[in-house]
Amino acid sequence: MLCRPSGYGWNQNLRIQENNLDSFRKFFSNSIMHTFLAFGAGLAFLLCLANWRRDKIAAFLFFAVSIVQFHIFLELSGELPNATWLMDLHIPAIFLIGPLAYLYFQNLSGNKIDVLPWIHFIPSILSVLIMLPFYLKSHAAKVEFLEQPQSGDIYMWMIPTLLGSGTVLNFFYPSQLLLKLRRWRGFTPHDKRIVFTPFFTLYATTLVLLLLFVVAQIFFMQLFSIAACGVTTLLCAVFLIHSANADLGISLRRQVSAARYAESRISGIDVDSVVQRMEELMSEERVYLDENLSLGNLAKKLKINSHQLSEILNSRMRKNFRNYVADFRLREAERLLKEESERSVLSIIYSSGFNSKSAFHKLFQEKYGCNPTEFRSQSKPTRIS
C-alpha cells in the first residue's frame, strides 16, 4: 500500500491558506481602490456645488470630472450593469473636460474669453448625437451589450473611437495652456514666477495621466487603475491648494496681466534678429568695454527703444541689462588676468569696462568665489621641476 509523503496534508492546507490570504489581499486592495475612486467622484461633485454660484465654468468642469470618475468606479467595481442609465454617459463628459479647463483658465487669468466659446463644445454635442440611440436602449439591451457583445454592433468600435478621440482632444488643451504659462512666465520677474508653479504642475500632471490612460488602453490595462486613482489624487491637490491659498487666482490674474502687457511692448519686433545683432555687438564689436554703455545707448544701436530692449533681456536672456553686460565684462577681466600676468588688477578693471572698483570686486567674488589676485595665482600653470 502506497502512502502519501509525510506533510502532504499540511502543505495542502498551507497552500489553501496562502490562496485565501492572496484572495483577501486582492479583495482588500481593490476595495480601497474602489473607495478612493468613489471618493474622487464625490469630491469633484462637491467642488462643482462649491463653485456653482461664483463660477459656472468651474462648476461644469468639476461636474464633468465627477461623471467620468464615477463611471470608472462603476466599471472597475463591476457595478455598471446595475447602473446602465449612466452607461457611457462619460463620453460627452470627456469631450467637455478639455474645453472647460481651457475656458476656466482663460477666465481665471483675466483673459478675454473667445467670442464664440461654444465652438469648443461641438465635439461633445456630436458625441451625444452619435451615442443617443445607445442611450435610448433598454436596461436589458445594455446589460447584454456588456455581457455578450455582438461583433456586428456599431457601438463595439464606435465607443472606443470616441473615447480615443476625446483623450486626444484633451491632450491639446493642457498643452496649449502649458505653452501660454511658459510664455507668460518668461515675461515675469524671477521673484514673482512662483505663482505659475501650481498651474504648471496641474497641467503637466494632467498630461501624464492622459498618457497613462492611453498606454493602459493600448498596451497594459493594469495602468488604468493607477491613472484613475491619479485623477482623484489630482482633485485632492486642487482642493488643498485652493483651500491653502484662496487668493491664488487673484495673484495669477495680476501676473498674467503684467506679462501680457510686457509681451505687447515687443509685439511686431523680430526678437531673434534683435538678439542676434545684440550678440554681435557684444562679442564682435565689444561695446561692453565702453564704461558709459547704458540701456538707452544699446537700444539705440539696435534701433529699438529701451523699454523693448529691457523686455527682450528679461524674457529671452532671463537677465536685466546690468547683469547681461557684467557677464561680458567679467569674462574679459578673466581673460586679462590669465593672459597678462604683469598687468595690475586696477588696470584690468577699467580695461574690462567697469567704472567702479567696488562693484567689480563684488561681482567677481560672486561669480568666481575668490578675489582677482587669488584667481590669478590659482590660474598660473604649475611648474614641474
pLDDT band at 385; cut points 50, 70, 90: very low
Does domain 29-266 fall under CATH 3.40.50? My reply is: no
60 falls in which pLDDT band (50, 70, 90)?
A: very high
Q: What percent of the chain has pLDDT over 90?
A: 17
pLDDT at 61: 93
Are 95 and 138 contacting, i.e. CB atoms less than 8 angstroms apart?
no
Match 466599471 to its residue by C-alpha cell.
75
Give the mean pLDDT of 102-127.
80
pTM: 0.68
Which CATH number is 271-379 given?
1.10.10.60
- The amino acid sitting at 48 is C
What average pLDDT does this structure show over 14-36? 59
The answer to whether 66 touches 41, Cβ cutoff 8 Å, is yes
Report the pLDDT value the prediction gives residue 45, as an integer from 0 to 100.
Answer: 94
Angle between helices 222-244 and 8-51 (to 10 degrees): 40
pLDDT per residue as tens digits for the range 209-259 = 888 888 877 777 778 888 889 899 999 998 888 888 777 778 878 888 877
Judge whether 209 and 252 are in contact, CB under 8 Å.
no
**Cell reading at 1:** 500500500
How sure is the predictor about 303, in pLDDT bands with cuts at 50, 70 and 90? confident
Q: In Å, what is the CA distance from 23 to each residue of 17, 28, 52, 229, 278?
A: 10, 8, 43, 21, 69
Average pLDDT, stretch 318-340? Answer: 89
Write the pLDDT tens digit of every residue in 332-383: 998 988 888 888 888 988 888 988 888 888 988 888 888 888 888 887 655 4
Q: Which residues contact 303 (CB under 8 A, 6 or more apart)?
A: none
Q: In this predicted structure, what is the pLDDT of residue 179?
A: 87
CB distance 48 to 62 below 8 Å: yes
The per-residue pLDDT for 67 is 95
What pLDDT, on the 0 to 100 scale, is given for residue 3? 44
Q: Where are the domains of the chain?
A: 29-266, 271-379
115: confidence class by pLDDT, cuts 50, 70, 90:
low
The reported pLDDT for the residue numbered 266 is 73
- End-to-end Cα, the chain, rounded Å: 94
Alpha-carbon distance 123 to 44, whole Å? Answer: 23
Secondary structure in 3-state letters for 233-262: HHHHHHHHHHHHCCCHHHHHHHHHHHHHHH
Residue range 136-159, pLDDT digits in tens: 999 999 988 888 877 778 888 898
- In the chain, the amino acid numbered 49 is L
Q: What is the rounded CA–CA span in Å between residue 170 and residue 142? A: 27
Q: How far apart are CA 113 and CA 96, in angstroms?
A: 16
Rounded to an integer, what distance in angstroms lies between the CA atom of residue 119 and that of residue 131?
A: 20
Give the pLDDT band (50/70/90) at residue 317.
confident
| Cell numbers for 106 | 482663460
pLDDT at 29: 62
Helix (H, G, I), strand (E, B) or coil at 25: helix
% of the chain exceeding 70 in pLDDT: 89
Report d(CA 312, CA 272) in Å as an integer: 10
Residue 6 scores a pLDDT above 50: no
Q: Residue 361 is inside which H or E element, if any?
A: helix 357-368
In sequence order, which residues have a C-beta less than 8 Å from that of residue 353 and are 6 or more positions away?
A: 288, 289, 290, 291, 293, 325, 328, 329, 332
Cα torsion at 25, 28, 33, 38 (round to 10°)?
170
For residue 167, the model assigns a pLDDT of 86
Mean pLDDT of all residues in 60-80:
91
CA gap 210, 307 in Å, rounded: 41
- Helix (H), strand (E) at residue 359: helix 357-368
**Whole-angstrom Cα distance, residue 310 to residue 198?**
27
